[in-house]
Amino acid sequence: MFALADVNSFYASCEQVFRPDLKGQAVVILSNNDGCVIARSAAAKRLGIKMGVPWFQLRSQNFPQRLHAFSSNYALYANMSARVMNILESLAPRAEVYSIDECFLDITRIDSCIDFEEFGRQVRHKVRAHTGLTVGVGMGPTKTLAKSAQWASKEWPQFGGVLALTPGNPRRTEKLLSLQPVEEIWGCGRRISKKLEAMGIRTALDLSRANTRFIRRNFSVVLERTVRELQGEACIGLEENPPAKQQIVCSRSFGARIETYDELRQAVCRYAERATEKLRGERQFCRHVSVFIKTSPFSPHEPYYANAAGEQLVLATQDTRDVIAAAVRGLDKIWRPGHRYAKAGIMLNDFSTSDQAQLGLFDDSTPRPGSAQLMTVMDSINNSALGNICFAGQGIKPEWQMKRDMLSPAWTTRWAEIPRAKL
């Protein structure tokens, strides 16, 4: 048996935890540079606000109630996610963090000491008590059925946010699957759903009764696995240790267009520093560094320009200095004056778990002395919340940095912004 715990309207809920006055209010979270809606509270959904709607369009509309908008506060969301996952991992012997707001739990044989749905209610209570966030819990003999149960626990309030589909109650499973549209099934995207509906497969129950050979021949082995999971056959196991990343990308759209080389170099240096920090977090070394730049494709009166350059490193590295140097060399190859650049980014790939390499006969490259120790000290200071060290090449408070005019305080990660109660 698997359980899936999913935080309701996660980004919006994180904002509401520290603003009790927003409880039940319409809240939307905006993308980078306050561009478009990427998350909504339940009240915002009831107002008909769709995902991806540009903020400038919503700002001018009159709604029956006030609309509260926030810039994305990634530090807050990551910290609140870590708190929720720590709680969930303490409640089950095995857990898989599936996304920032979802976690699968192994609850096999837990019904020998507690009812499945009572366990789900305890999960909800503990997460709520320790974080102020509300989770929905779905349970089933496969991960796909657990996902379907979790969807139903949100769709119908009478379940109280908890629903278990057990092998001993097949009629309940069949009833739920008959009400679940095929597009809501885990792993069925919009394109696949349209093709299935054209074949007369409109609900999860229809898909569960489909011939697996037919599905594999006309779609893929992945969808065949979904069919088997809907039939109660566990085909997707719990991944306690996620596979190592094969690529790391760090890119942002600028808050203001960049026209000078110095400003673009600063942005590239900043993204290179962030990407290398993620690389060390993965305990990996990279051998290839790419940089890309582009202007806006939506400016009708300006020529569009986009380009990329990469460099293969002789020695695998996780030293920020090496990555910055390679990225700047790549930037020099593709920089063109006379353009107003809207976005840049860094891509690291060709990973290894060691910095050892077989050098050529005439190679004179050697690792930087004390590199690992220096990077460890930098990361420890930057993660201590007591200070921050960065490379001068990224500039100080540049004008091009991401626009976040409606950013909420760092309630949980910055001492100066911890909320204070008035006595």
Measured distance CA(250)–CA(237) in Å, rounded: 30
The owner of tokens 């120790």 is 373
Instruction: State percent of the chain over pLDDT 90.
Output: 73
Q: What is the three-class DSSP state of 316?
A: strand
- Mean pLDDT to the nearest integer, 366-370: 82
Positive or negative: CA dihedral 175, 176, 182, 187: negative
Residue 421 banded pLDDT, cuts 50, 70, 90: confident
The owner of tokens 């299935």 is 196
pLDDT of 306 > 60? The answer is yes
Containing 10, the helix (H) or strand (E) segment is helix 10-17
What per-residue confidence (pLDDT) applies to 365? 67
Domain with CATH 3.30.70.270 in the chain: 77-230
Find out whether 167 and 232 touch, Cβ atoms under 8 Å.
yes
Measured distance CA(394)–CA(341) in Å, rounded: 17
Distances from the Cα of 213 to the Cαs of 191, 227, 247, in angstroms? Answer: 20, 10, 34
Per-residue pLDDT tens over the stretch 60-73: 888 999 999 999 99
Residue 278 banded pLDDT, cuts 50, 70, 90: very high
- Assigned token pair, 68: 């509260």
Q: Which residues pair with 312 in a beta bridge?
A: 288
Q: Give 8-73's CATH code, choosing from 1.10.260.40, 3.40.1170.60, 3.30.390.50, 3.40.50.1100.
A: 3.40.1170.60
Measured distance CA(259)–CA(280) in Å, rounded: 32
Find out whether 138 and 146 touch, Cβ atoms under 8 Å.
yes
pLDDT of 97 > 60? The answer is yes
What per-residue confidence (pLDDT) applies to 32? 87
Per-residue pLDDT tens over the stretch 159-216: 999 999 999 899 999 999 999 999 999 988 888 999 999 999 999 999 999 999 999 9
Find out whether 40 and 9 touch, Cβ atoms under 8 Å.
yes
Find out whether 390 and 378 touch, Cβ atoms under 8 Å.
no
User: What does pLDDT average to over the chain?
Assistant: 91
Per-residue pLDDT tens over the stretch 118-151: 999 999 999 999 999 999 999 999 999 999 999 9
CB atoms within 10 A of CB 313: 18
Domain with CATH 3.30.1490.100 in the chain: 247-394
DSSP string, 231-248: TT---S---SSPPPPSEE
Domain with CATH 3.40.1170.60 in the chain: 8-73
* DSSP category for residue 168: T
Question: Which residues, at least 6 apart from 223, have a Cβ–Cβ distance to it below 8 Å?
Answer: 187, 188, 192, 215, 216
Residue 390 banded pLDDT, cuts 50, 70, 90: confident
Identify the top-confidence range among 66-70, 190-194, 356-360, 395-399. 66-70
Q: What are phi and psi of 212, to 5 degrees?
A: -65, -35
Please return the burial class of 311, using the count of CB atoms within 10 Å of its CB with bins 0-12, 13-18 and 19+: middle
Q: Which residues pair with 288 in a beta bridge?
A: 312, 349
pLDDT of 95 > 70? The answer is yes
pLDDT of 363 > 70? The answer is no
Helix residue ranges per DSSP H, 180-295? 190-198, 204-208, 212-218, 221-230, 261-281
Find out whether 128 and 141 touch, Cβ atoms under 8 Å.
no
Which range, of 85-89, 289-293, 298-302, averages the lowest pLDDT? 298-302
What per-residue confidence (pLDDT) applies to 360? 61
Give the closest residue to 184 by CA, choosing from 162, 154, 228, 140.
154
Positive or negative: CA dihedral 380, 383, 384, 387: positive
Measured distance CA(379)–CA(372) in Å, rounded: 11
Measured distance CA(40)–CA(29) in Å, rounded: 6
Q: What is the pTM of this model?
A: 0.85
Per-residue pLDDT tens over the stretch 216-256: 999 989 999 999 999 999 999 988 777 778 899 999 889 88
Measured distance CA(405)–CA(400) in Å, rounded: 14
- Assigned token pair, 236: 């997707």
- Mean pLDDT to the nearest integer, 386-395: 84
Measured distance CA(341)–CA(40) in Å, rounded: 31
Q: Give 77-230's CATH code, choosing from 3.30.70.270, 3.40.50.150, 1.10.287.180, 3.40.50.10490.
A: 3.30.70.270
pLDDT of 358 > 70? The answer is no
What per-residue confidence (pLDDT) applies to 417? 86
- Assigned token pair, 128: 């709520």
DSSP string, 43-106: HHHHTTPPTT-BHHHHHT---SSPEEEEE--HHHHHHHHHHHHHHHHTSSS-EEEEETTEEEEE
Say which CATH topology domain 247-394 has.
Dna Ligase; domain 1 (3.30.1490)
Find out whether 78 and 100 touch, Cβ atoms under 8 Å.
yes
Measured distance CA(335)–CA(119) in Å, rounded: 58
